[in-house]
């Protein structure tokens, strides 16, 4: 089974094609400057990198071109789009609605749109990627994977801020946490390497990169994290 994973940014698109049976990445790429002059795609397959200067005025045109590369006889990794079992979309914010990955339906898409106020730079871009795929491959199954979902197990006493409660009720201002997909994967990998049942472990997990966060994980569930309402909203521990 092969899947296509998309990460849609405001003017960019990252992707990978993964063979789930072998867990091997077959191809990856990065489309830059979408909607701008001189947009281009860097497509990597079989250890080789190929650069294509291609005009893409929106995400739909960018995704169309990416799919054409995936089935290309020289640069592709599938014979036709029918080989794809589905498309996964990384979505930054799922609010309080989503505590796990979900099949994308019209109702799910509307809920993702409602979360755009909480992630105005990210969710609209994710939505554009989802809507573009719905047009290009309308019968393809799609799944949304949320950065915030893993942290929905944090207790209310820890995610509510010490500010007037009406701000939480009216505007949803609370700690959400991010990097959930990374923290969830790494914690399970730690348990696997240690040969332990994750439900028996307490783990402090560190995500280090362009954005950094720390997560306390108990019995496989997030119990505390350093990111708050936004990735820049951090806790002050020890105070």
Choose, from 19, 100, 117, 147, the residue flagged as catalytic: 147
Nearest 5°: phi and psi at 113?
-65, -35
104 closest CA partner among 70, 138, 80? 138
- Distance, CA of 197 to CA of 91 (rounded, Å): 29
- Distance, CA of 234 to CA of 221 (rounded, Å): 20
Beta strand extents in 116-182 (DSSP E only): 142-146
- Distance, CA of 204 to CA of 186 (rounded, Å): 10
Nearest 5°: phi and psi at 102?
-140, 150
Contact 87, 6 (CB under 8 A): yes
- Distance, CA of 143 to CA of 18 (rounded, Å): 15
100 is catalytic: no
Give the contacts of 17 (CB within 8 A, at least 6 positions apart). 2, 3, 4, 5, 25, 26, 27, 28, 70, 77, 78, 84
- Annotated active-site positions, please? 147
């Amino acid at each position: 089974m092969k899947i296509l994973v998309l990460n849609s940014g405001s003017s960019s698109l990252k992707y990978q094609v993964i063979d789930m049976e072998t867990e091997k990445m077959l191809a990856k790429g990065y489309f830059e400057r979408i909607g701008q002059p001189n947009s281009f795609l860097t497509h990597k397959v079989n250890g080789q990198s190929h650069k294509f200067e291609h005009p893409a005025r929106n995400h739909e045109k960018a995704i169309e071109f990416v799919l054409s590369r995936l089935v290309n006889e020289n640069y592709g990794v599938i014979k036709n789009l029918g080989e794809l079992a589905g498309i996964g979309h990384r979505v930054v914010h799922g609010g309080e609605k989503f505590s796990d990955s979900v099949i994308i339906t019209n109702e799910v898409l509307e809920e993702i749109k409602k979360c755009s106020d909480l992630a105005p730079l990210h969710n609209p871009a994710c939505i554009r990627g989802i809507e573009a795929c719905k047009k290009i491959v309308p019968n393809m199954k799609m799944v949304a994977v949320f950065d915030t979902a893993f942290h929905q197990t944090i207790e209310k006493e820890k995610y509510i801020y010490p500010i007037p409660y009406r701000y939480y009720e009216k505007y949803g201002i609370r700690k959400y946490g991010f990097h959930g997909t990374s923290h969830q994967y790494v914690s399970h990998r730690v348990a696997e390497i240690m040969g332990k049942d994750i439900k028996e472990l307490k783990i402090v997990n560190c995500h280090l990169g362009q954005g950094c966060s720390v997560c306390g994980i108990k019995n496989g569930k997030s119990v505390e994290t350093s990111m708050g309402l936004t990735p820049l909203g951090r806790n002050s521990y020890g105070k």
